[in-house]
Structure 1
Amino acid sequence: MQAILTIEKHKAHIALDGVFTFEAHREFKAATMGALGNEGVEEIEIDFNAVEYIDSAALGMLLLLNERAGGRKIVLRNCTGTVRAVLDVANFGKIFEIR
């Protein structure tokens, strides 16, 4: 999986591409730490447009990001199909904004 970070003004955008499982933890952590390391970032948007599958390890990585964000807004975007179903079963809509 690839995690591509771009920062524009006060928003960090992380585009994920591939299968989001434990094997992706290094790429995901590098991208999210880059976003969290920028003091001007107020919102972190995770784009699932090119993700076909996520597992429980990915859910854990999202929860860790939420803890580390220090109150910054986290948005999960373009969640469809299996990805959306997994997020719904885990009640992630109560923790994150899902668009």
Structure 2
Amino acid sequence: MSVTSERSADGQQLTITISGRFDFSTHQDFRGAYEKEAKGQRIVVDLSGTSYLDSSALGMLLLLRDHAGGERADVELVGCNADVIKILTISNFAKLFKIA
């Protein structure tokens, strides 16, 4: 499991990449990836290397959305495999996030 973050050259986008299992063990690393970032910027969560996510990961995504501005937040989940998309769909996350 690893969580990395990278700001775009223009500073307008933060990309958080999660590899391996996205569960409670990633909580501190995931929160640390965004909590000091400015609100209102675009956030992309790259799940292309994510093999598993659980309910605590869903909660962490909701906390990220709240931090980023709630309903006005520009948060996109990208690179989701079929299993991850199934979990996000069952959880109605497509109504809260852009999923690509």
Q: With structure 1 as the length reference, what TM-score do the two structures score? A: 0.90
Are 2:32 and 1:30 aligned? yes
Q: List runs of 5+ in structure 2 lacking aligned partners.
A: none
Q: Give the deviation of 1:54 after TM superposition.
A: 0.2
Q: With structure 2 as the length reference, what TM-score do the two structures score? A: 0.89
Q: Distance in 1 between matches of 2:50 and 2:33?
A: 16
Q: Give the deviation of 1:27 after TM superposition.
A: 0.8
Could you list the per-position Cα deviations for residues 44-99 of structure 1 after superposition, in whole angstroms to 9, with x for gaps in the alignment?
Answer: 00000000100000000001111111133000001112111100100100000001
RMSD: 1.3
Figure out how many residues of one structure are paired with residues of the other and give that number. 96
- The residue identity in structure 2 corresponding to 1:47 is D
Q: Distance in 1 between matches of 2:3 and 2:60?
A: 13
Q: What secondary structure is seen at the aligned counterpart in 2 of 1:38?
A: coil
Partner of 1:77: 78
Q: State the identity %.
A: 33
Q: Give the deviation of 1:7 after TM superposition.
A: 0.4
Q: List runs of 5+ in structure 1 lacking aligned partners.
A: none
